[in-house]
Amino acid sequence: MNPSLFKSLGFRAGLVSVLIFVFILAAWHAATLPSRPAAAPTTAVSAEQAEYDKLMGKSAPAAGEAAKTTGFPTLAQMGDTIVKQLSNPFYDNGPNDKGIAIQLAYSLARVGLGFLIACAVAIPLGFLIGMSPLLRRALDPYIQVLKPISPLAWMPLALYTIKDSSISGVFVIFICSVWPMLLNTAFGVASVKREWLNVASTLEVKPLRKALKVILPAAAPTILTGMRISMGIAWLVIVAAEMLVGGTGIGYFVWNEWNNLSLTNVIFAILVIGVVGMLLDLLFARLQRAVTYVE
Amino acid sequence: MEGFLRVEKLGKAFVADKPVFSDVSFKLDRGEFVCIIGHSGCGKTTILNVIAGLDTASTGHVFMDGREVAGPSLERGVVFQSHALMPWLTVRKNIAFAVESRWPEKSAAQIDEAVRAAVELVGLTPAIDKLPSQLSGGMKQRVGIARAFAIQPKMLLLDEPFGALDALTRGTIQEELISIVRKTQQTVFMITHDVDEAILLADRILLMKNGGETSSGYVPGGVAEVVVNTLPKDRSRQTLHHLDGYYELRNNIVDFLVTRAKHH
């Protein structure tokens, strides 16, 4: 083995990550270990008692099988669920039983649509606010009041006016992603270097060309930062929104599996939400890098 | 018509009744190279910006080619002190942006041809596809100069373009500038802090005085003296200090800057 490999920070960090993962799995395993029934007289259960237990959802422990001490799923059950979900992600057995990929697609479509509408509103408006001190001051009170409102607080109003739960979800995504983009765009546009604008002026560049060729690329890193923050918030909010409106989506999936008391599915969904959120963030980090310039 | 560029009774006041400078009048003939020298805060950059159309004067007017300067124009190329290149564009695209602005009707091939000619003028052909961040300070400033020349302006305004460069680089670019200006017969107005630079480049040197409080009240700044450069036209950096009259000229300007440019 190359000894310098062990010295590289990346390798050592990766090693620690793996160790932490192993530790978590071990802790999980230890915490869900079945405790040995202390010579429990399993045979002492009467037939009626066994029938009653069955009705209550507690199957009588078969002879030799250990009694569980906790309802929390074991690693084996968890692994089983992950394999089952991932091996058939596209099944559709009716409104309450759809594959994880289909639920994810619903959520991503809502987030994507709400986010795109927010871009279409926030970026042009941010440009105007950034370029016009008058508009900035005039719109500031509205932005300051609207920005801190929890996006879910809009839900009843959205449901009443739009009368469609799915579109209401899109609206909630729109309203939560619009603010960081709007503020970052306005800030980025307002802080474009004077000298670049002077160059554009001495070259008699028309306003639209100036906006697209000078201000947009100059402000792009700041705008992308806003978009990245917005996407992060949108992905947080979609889960809560779908729990509220129900029907489809990863948030609804979590709630539905909670109602089914299927903790393995809930945990699986939580992991999926985390991974997809990470991938979305990586995507925007990459876009951000593509438009960042070194002065 | 007399005076290609006419600056008439220019004044700028940020505080009422205490103008930074006032009553600044001078003329530039076509093909003339004029430098303006003065201490910081005397208003050199403001004068240049007013000529460029980027700033407005409190009083007075600027005329170029018989028309009053009312705003920025492609007829006046500006080289900024901080090079002002767009950092997200390569050298080629930075200059192409200027060329496209000047001649929107040109085809892509024609634009690229003009860009390559401008880059070759400053000897940066090998770096044409580099980003400004990959260039040295001197190279960036060369690109700034190439961009200003690329639009073939009627006159060139240079705002202390070599101020941030080391002495060796500065010398080389000065010589390049001389040869380009001679070749193109450009009219140039340039700000500098460097006395030798002014003597090397300029046909005339305007000496500016700072405004300030005197025993008889506030006196605004302005152009105090005009020095005509009598050294031969083909002077070069290497032989400049051997020329007759060089030290006389230099001492005169340095004396002005040390003793007469500020109110004591």
Nearest Cα to Cα of residue B86 among A187, A132, A203: A203
Q: Is the pLDDT of residue B64 over 60?
A: yes
> Cα A155–A159–A160 angle (5° rounding)?
120
Order of strands, sheet of B204-209, starting from the edge strand that comes earlier in the sequence: B76-79, B155-159, B187-192, B33-37, B204-209, B222-228
- pLDDT score, position A143: 94
- B-contacting residues in A 165-194 (Cβ below 8 Å): 193
Name the least confident of A4-8, A215-219, B196-200, B233-237: A4-8
Q: Are strands B76-79 and B155-159 parallel, antiparallel or unpaired?
A: parallel
Are A89 and A99 a contacting pair, CB within 8 Å?
yes
Nearest Cα to Cα of residue A181 among A266, A118, A238, A133: A118
> From the list B72, B80, B88, which residue is nearest A195 (CB)?
B80
Name the least confident of A8-17, A23-32, B142-151, B177-186: B177-186
Question: Which band of pLDDT confidence, cut at 50, 70 and 90, is reported for residue B83?
Answer: confident
pLDDT in tens, B163-173: 888 888 888 88
A195, A203, A288: which to substitute to probe chain B, counting the most B Cβ within 10 Å? Answer: A203
In percent, the amount of chain B with pLDDT more than 70 equals 99
Reduced 3-state DSSP string for B247-263: HHHHHHHHHHHHHHCCC
- pLDDT score, position A243: 93
Are B169 and B137 a contacting pair, CB within 8 Å?
yes
**CB–CB of A204 and B80 under 8 A?**
no
Q: Is B103 on the interface with A (CB under 8 A)?
A: no
How many CA atoms are closer than 13 Å to the CA of B178, on its beta-carbon side?
17
Name the least confident of A15-19, A222-226, B186-190, B211-215: B211-215
Q: How many angstroms separate the CA atoms of A260 and A247, rounded?
A: 15
Nearest Cα to Cα of residue A199 among B12, B69, B33, B87: B87
Q: How many angstroms separate the CA atoms of A234 and A250, rounded?
A: 13
Chain-centre distance of CA B181, in angstroms? 12
| Torsional class of A173: left (φ above 0), alpha (ψ -120 to 50), beta (otherwise) | alpha
Q: How many angstroms separate the CA atoms of A35 and A27, rounded?
A: 15
In order of A34, A64, A69, the CA distances from A50 in angstroms are 21, 16, 19
Chain B residues whose CB is inside 8 A of the A193 CB are 84
Chain A residues whose CB is inside 8 A of the B98 CB are 203
Average pLDDT score over chain B: 91
Instruction: Give me the tens of pLDDT residue by residue for chain A, a chain 295 residues long.
Output: 567 777 889 999 999 999 999 999 999 999 988 776 555 555 566 777 777 777 776 655 554 444 445 678 999 999 999 999 999 898 888 888 888 999 999 999 999 999 999 999 999 999 999 999 999 999 999 999 999 999 999 999 999 999 998 899 999 999 999 999 999 999 999 999 999 999 999 999 999 999 999 999 999 999 999 999 999 999 999 999 999 988 899 999 999 999 988 999 999 999 999 999 999 999 999 999 999 999 8
E-assigned strands of chain B? 5-12, 21-28, 33-37, 59-64, 67-68, 76-79, 155-159, 187-192, 204-209, 212-214, 217-219, 222-228
> From the list A195, A201, A294, which residue is nearest B133 (CB)?
A294
In order of A190, B89, B92, the CA distances from B85 in angstroms are 19, 8, 11
Domain ranges of chain A: 3-72, 100-291
Question: Helix, strand or coil for residue B212?
Answer: strand
Chain A residues whose CB is inside 8 A of the B52 CB are 202
Instruction: Write the CB contacts of B20 (distance below 8 Å, at least 6 apart in sequence).
Output: B12, B13, B14, B41, B42, B43, B46, B211, B220, B221
Q: Quick one: DSSP state of residue A243?
A: H
**CB–CB of B80 and A291 under 8 A?**
no
Is A100-291 assigned to CATH 1.10.150.530? Answer: no
Hey, how many other C-beta atoms are within 10 angstroms of the C-beta on B50? 22
Element (H, E) at A119: helix A100-131
Chain B residues whose CB is inside 8 A of the A224 CB are none
**CB–CB of A203 and B84 under 8 A?**
no
Q: Is the pLDDT of residue B240 over 70?
A: yes
Q: Is A293 on the interface with B (CB under 8 A)?
A: yes
Amino acid at site A4 = S
- pLDDT score, position A59: 58
Nearest Cα to Cα of residue B236 among B196, B187, B189, B190: B196
Q: Which two tokens stand for residue B134?
A: 């990959």
Q: Are strands B33-37 and B204-209 parallel, antiparallel or unpaired?
A: parallel
- pLDDT score, position A45: 65
Burial of B160 by CB count in 10 Å (0-12 exposed, 13-18 middle, 19+ buried)? buried
- pLDDT score, position B46: 93
Residue of chain A whose Cα is closest to the Cα of B135: A295
Chain B residues whose CB is inside 8 A of the A290 CB are none
How close A293 gets to chain B, by Cα (Å)?
A: 5
Interface ipTM: 0.89
Q: How many angstroms separate the CA atoms of A280 and A274, rounded?
A: 10
Domains of chain B: 5-75+153-260 (3.40.50.300)
Are B42 and B221 a contacting pair, CB within 8 Å?
yes
- pLDDT score, position A64: 44
Q: Which two tokens stand for residue B139?
A: 């190279």
- pLDDT score, position A63: 44
**CB–CB of A204 and B72 under 8 A?**
yes
- pLDDT score, position B48: 95
Instruction: Write the CB contacts of A25 (distance below 8 Å, at least 6 apart in sequence).
Output: A75
Q: How many angstroms separate the CA atoms of B244 and A126, rounded?
A: 62
Question: Helix, strand or coil for residue B190?
Answer: strand
pLDDT in tens, A134-177: 999 999 999 999 999 999 999 999 999 999 988 999 999 999 99
- pLDDT score, position B164: 80
In order of B27, B199, B227, the CA distances from B195 in angstroms are 21, 6, 12
A202, A204, A223, A294: which to substitute to probe chain B, counting the most B Cβ within 10 Å? Answer: A202
Q: Is A294 on the interface with B (CB under 8 A)?
A: yes
Torsional sign, CA A232, A235, A238, A239 = negative
Hey, how many other C-beta atoms are within 10 angstroms of the C-beta on A152? 16
> From the list B82, B97, B151, which residue is nearest A195 (CB)?
B82
- pLDDT score, position A44: 61
Chain A residues whose CB is inside 8 A of the B102 CB are 203
Q: Which two tokens stand for residue A64?
A: 């030799």
- pLDDT score, position A295: 85
- pLDDT score, position A65: 47
The residue count for chain A: 295
